[in-house]
Amino acid sequence: MFLIQSRNPGVAVLCIALTILMCSCSGGNDQVADHKPQANDTAYTAEAAMNVYAYEPERALTIIDSALLLDNIDYDLAQMLRAKVFSQSLADERLDSAQTLLLGLLNSSYTENKATREKVYDLLLNIAYKRQHLELLLHWGALKVECCRELGHETEALRTEAEIAFAHAQLGEEEKGLAKINHIIAKLDGQRSIDKMDACVVALKRKALILNYLGRLEETVSVAQHAKEILDDYREHYADYADDSFRFQKNEEEIQQYCDFYIAQIYSCIANLYAKSGKTDSARHYLAFFEQNYYGQSYIGRKSVVPTYCLLGDYDKMDEIYAEMAQKMGTDTLNNEYADMLLGWAKEAEAQGNHRIANAYLHRYDQVKQQLNDRLLKSRAYDISTRYQLHEEQLKAENEQRRAQNRMYMVIVGFTLFLIAIGTIVLLWILYRKIKCKNRVLVEQIAETVRYKNDAQNLTAEDEALVATSTATIAKVETATKAKLSTRRVEIKNLDKLSNEQLFKFLSEAIRQEQLFTNPNFGRQMLMDRFNVSERRIGAAFAHGSEHNSLPDFVRELRLEYASRLLTDHAEMSVSDVATAAGFSSLSVFSREFKRKFDISPSFYRQQISESKM
């Protein structure tokens, strides 16, 4: 865990002891007894590797490699399991390997799942604890808290925030750390849930460590007693604490072990406080409770109270534990535990009056601490280098991915534009076909309308019946009609007596039969001169006696109908000749009026007529 910079050797020893107590804070219900090998440990699975990694890391790595070869696990899971094995070690090389693997997983698809990402952050936090790299601890802690809250794991987020607050205290921001931990305890205290209760006890332990460092012994004892009261309540009413957390114990034996684990650490903390204040009897009283506890009898537990034995002058017990530590340590003496042992031996020699030996131990202690500091600086430099390298690789991968995406986008855009172009062409062709069909129908309607109007004006009902008999009869009817018209004109002596409707009928028949409209200069004056009719009567005849607004409108209609017949029946005539023959003053006037009337140009009309005859 963490180490607070001590102002004197005694405080340093105490902080080291309290730090050891925290090593198992996030797994209070872990068994401390040696794990017995099982028959199924040899199976090449992730579960088999995790069964042995704590006490046989090399075997666990072999199982992981075999499981990967047999496709029992995928590559990313194998990397995660290797990192978990490496992170259990205190060796720098193993911790470096674990950190490199974890950083690689963070930049892979393996951690797209937030639950998996949370586990990676947890292992990185563990590595930061062991290296006492507070800056990295704050960094990974903040990311884990964010991830926990995204997953809805609020209690785990609060547990991690307690560790962050403790790190702030180690960096000299004790009051900030205390304020944060008090806020966390207020959220968790009094809630009967094993998960929340465990997080609350962890936060109380962190608070006790900070208060102890600040020398506020009475407050520290009060916090420790508070944690014990919570654990006693859980032991008495454990059924009320049931939740879906993996921390919930299934039987009374597990509950007892869980509570003893934390209570033993509380006894150790109180004993240390009394030893520091010179109250040796009280210190030994709580040490006796600690030593009777199963955790107090374990190797980790006994290591945690060495500073207290040193403060009380119980050097025999200290040497006994140091001997066991040295045996487990072997030749690997470049670590904080060995430095603590050197400091303890120095104090023992000083207490016995062996000042030369004490100085030798202190000198060796300074050397080891200097080497550890150098290694820590090197480790931090390695961290920076590794993160920079991974960042460069990530940028390279992102650039390559971006280029691939751009190529894909270009292909998609190109294909989309191609489809749009094809669709546009097809749509235009369909529209062209529809317009062409529509225009053909329109041309046919125009021709039919012109023929109908011409026939309706030139033939009577009686004549229409005769038309059905023979072509010869049609000629006779036309002659008879003209004779009737001539007779009618002779009989009419005064056109002024006719109504507007009668006058229009008379004038329109004359204009149509004699094709007066084909004269470009035809107008009201010509009718006035020819039929001796006033301008007012002519205007009234066309404006009120017909469906036309004026004489020019009527003449324009006749000219357009006549022109359409010429366009249909006389292919040899040019459009310009048709315009002149129909009485239009110019081709442009004819084209404009024709398009306004029929919505198509004269040329297109003739083209459609020609195509329909083919």
- Report pLDDT for 123: 92
Specify the higher pLDDT residue, 497 or 319.
319
Give the domain extent around 505.
492-613
For 335-377, what is each residue's pLDDT tens digit?
A: 777 888 888 888 888 888 888 888 888 888 888 888 878 776 7
How many Cβ atoms from other residues are within 10 Å of residue 258's Cβ? Answer: 22
Asked if residue 78 belongs to a domain, the reply is no
Per-residue pLDDT tens digits for 546-565: 888 888 888 999 999 999 88
| Whole-angstrom distance, CA of residue 589 vs CA of residue 591 | 6
Q: Supply the pLDDT for residue 88.
A: 84
Q: Using CA atoms, how far apart are residues 607 and 614, in angstroms rounded to an integer?
A: 11
Q: Which of 30-44, 88-102, 202-216, 510-524 shows the lowest mean pLDDT across its residues? A: 30-44
Half-sphere exposure of 275 (CA within 13 A, CB side): 25
- For residue 31, is it within any domain? no
Residue 551 lies in a domain: yes
Residue 275 has a pLDDT of 85
Residue bearing the bigger pLDDT, 399 or 112:
112
Q: Indicate whether 157 belongs to any domain.
A: no
Is the pLDDT at 202 greater than 60, yes or no?
yes
Question: Does the residue 476 lie in any domain?
Answer: no
**From 34-38, 101-105, 290-294, 498-502, the region with the lowest mean pLDDT:** 34-38
d(C-alpha 550, C-alpha 466), whole Å: 34
For the segment 61-99, what is each residue's pLDDT rounded down to a tens digit?
999 999 888 888 899 999 999 999 998 887 778 888 899
Flag whether 369 is in a domain.
no
Residue 46, domain member (yes or no): no
Q: What is the pLDDT of residue 19?
A: 43
pLDDT band at 23 (very low <50, low <70, confident <90, very high): very low
Whole-angstrom Cα distance, residue 117 to residue 148?
Answer: 10
Give yes or no for a contact between 47 and 26, defined as CB atoms under 8 angstroms apart: no
Number of domains in the chain: 1
At residue 80, the pLDDT reads 92
Q: Residue 160 has what pLDDT?
A: 92
Residue 473, pLDDT > 60, answer no
Cα 389 from Cα 387, distance rounded (Å):
5
- For CA atoms 276, 280, 281, 283, give the dihedral sign: positive
User: DSSP secondary structure string, 339-390?
Assistant: HHHHHHHHHHHHHTT-HHHHHHHHHHHHHHHHHHHHHHHHHHHHHHHHHHHH
pLDDT in the model for residue 541: 84
| Confidence band, pLDDT 50/70/90 cuts, at residue 380 | low
Q: Which residue has the higher pLDDT, 485 or 277?
A: 277
> What does the block give as tokens for 23?
């090593």
Residue 77 domain flag: no
Which of the given ranges, 313-327, 387-401, 447-461, has the highest pLDDT on average? Answer: 313-327
Q: pLDDT tens digits, residue range 129-169?
A: 888 888 888 999 999 999 999 988 898 899 899 999 989 98
Q: Identify the pLDDT of residue 95.
A: 87
pLDDT at 412: 92
State the CATH number of the domain containing residue 525: 1.10.10.60
